[in-house]
Chain A
Amino acid sequence: MIGVTTPEALRLFIDRLLLRSSLSVAQRAVITALPGRLSKVPACHDIILPGEHTDHACLVASGLVARFDTMADGRRQIVAFYLPGEMCDLHSVPVPTSGWGLEALAGSTLVFVPHGALREAASDPAIAMAFWRDTVTDGSILAKWAANLGRKQALPRLAHLFCEMGMRMEGRGLGTRTEYDLPITQAQLADAAGLTSVHLNRTLKALRHEGVTFAGKRVRIADWAALTHLAEFDPVYLLLPEREAALGTALRWRA
C-alpha cells in the first residue's frame, strides 16, 4: 500500500473500468501510460474545496477519499466515498470547476492525472465510453445516496451504507462484503449518514443488536441477508456485472 506507483494505481483504475466496460490490450496500455503525479495526503486533509478550479483528476491509489459539501456554519455532508482504483472527479475533465470538495478521510495516496492527458486518451471512442460509464456509475450511486438521505430512517440508512461499502470493498478485493476495513472516524460516518454524532452513536448501538459492528474502523456483518433486508439494499444501482449483482440478490432472498 505504502509503495504504490503511478502505473500500479492506473492498473487499479483499469480494473474498475473493466467491471463495466471492455477495453482492448492497446486501450489498456494507453491508460497505464497516462502521466500522473503521486501525492501522499494525511487523514482529514482537504484535497480540493468547493468552487476551486482544477486541471487534473484525482485517482485514489490507497486510503479512502470523500466528496463533500459544506454548509455556511461549517458542517459537512459527505456525498460519496472513493476507494482505491476509483477516480474521484473524472467529471472534472469536461467541467474543471468543482461544485463540491474532496477530502482524504484516511491517510491516502493519490495520483493527479492531468486533464489534457485524459482528454487525449478519450479520443479513442471505447475509452471515452468507459470514462462516460464510470461517471454514470458515480451519478447512479449519488442518486441512491440522495434517496437514502432524504427518505430513510437512521437505522436502514446506515445499514444501507454498510451494505454498499461491503459490496464495493469486496469488488475491489478489499475484504469481503461482510468484513472490511472502513478507515473513517465516527464523526466522518455521521457526516456521510447525515446524522448528528449522538444519533449515529445511538444507531450504531441499534445495529449491534442486528449483528453489525463498526469497531476499530472495521465493519463486521453477521447476517448479510438480514442486513440487506433491513436496508432495502438492492445492488443494481452499483451497475456491477450481472453475476455479482445477482449474487447479492440471491443472498437477499435467502433470508
Chain B
Amino acid sequence: MAHFYINVYNSETTLDDVGSDFPGLPEATAEARSAAADLIREEILAGGQLQRHHRIEVEDENRRVVHVLKFDELIAD
C-alpha cells in the first residue's frame, strides 16, 4: 500500500489533507477518474457546464505531483 493525496481544481479548489492508501499509482489514478466522473455528474445536475481546464492532481506521500488528470482528456474531439 502507498499513500496518495488527490486534489481537485475545478470551480473551487479542494486540497486533500488526509490522503488515502492505494495498492499503487494505477489504483490512485483510477480513483481520480472515478472522482472526476462524480464531480462532472454533479456539475451537470447543478445546471453547470464542464470546464476543460479543470483538473485533478494525484500526489505521492511526499506531496509530489505524480499524475494530472485534465477533464479535457476525458472528452473526445
Contacts and interface: CB of A to CB of B under 8 A. Distances in A.
Interface of A: 153-154, 185-187, 195-199, 201-202, 205
B34 A196 contact: yes
B5 to A, nearest CB: 10
A199 B20 contact: no
B45 A201 contact: no
Given A153-B42, A197-B18, A198-B38, 19 more contacts: A153-B45, A185-B18, A186-B20, A187-B21, A195-B38, A196-B31, A197-B16, A197-B20, A197-B35, A198-B8, A198-B16, A198-B31, A198-B32, A199-B35, A199-B42, A201-B8, A201-B14, A201-B18, A202-B14
Interface in B1-58: 6, 8, 14, 16, 18, 20-21, 31-32, 34-35, 38-39, 42, 45, 56
A197 B39 contact: no
A153 B32 CA distance: 19
A197 B6 contact: yes
Given A196-B31, A197-B31, A198-B6, A186 B38 contact: no
Contacts of A196: 31, 34-35, 38
26 contacts: A153-B42, A153-B45, A185-B18, A186-B18, A187-B20, A196-B31, A196-B34, A197-B6, A197-B20, A197-B35, A198-B14, A198-B31, A198-B32, A198-B35, A198-B38, A198-B39, A198-B56, A199-B38, A199-B39, A201-B6, A201-B8, A201-B18, A202-B8, A202-B14, A202-B39, A205-B14
A198 B37 CA distance: 11
Interface residues of B, number: 16
A148 to B, nearest CB: 16
Contacts, number: 43
A154 B18 contact: no
A18 B47 CA distance: 48
A69 B34 CA distance: 19
Closest 4 interchain pairs by CB? A198-B35, A199-B38, A196-B35, A197-B20
A110 B32 CA distance: 37
Nearest to B37: A196
Nearest to B32: A198
Given A186-B18, A202-B8, A154 B42 contact: yes
Nearest to B17: A201
Nearest to B35: A198
Contacts of B18: 185-186, 197, 201
Contacts of A199: 35, 38-39, 42
